[in-house]
Structure 1
Amino acid sequence: MSNSQVAHGFSFILTASVFTAVFLVISKSLLNGVGGKLGTLAFLGVSLTYLLLYLFK
Structure 2
Amino acid sequence: MENYPNSYNVYSSMGQYYERLGDKIKAIEFYEKAVTIKEYPETMNKIVELRSSK
- Normalized per residue, the structure richer in helix is 2
Settle same-fold status: TM greater than 0.5.
Answer: no
* TM-score (ref. length: structure 2): 0.35
The structure having more radius of gyration, on CA atoms, is 1
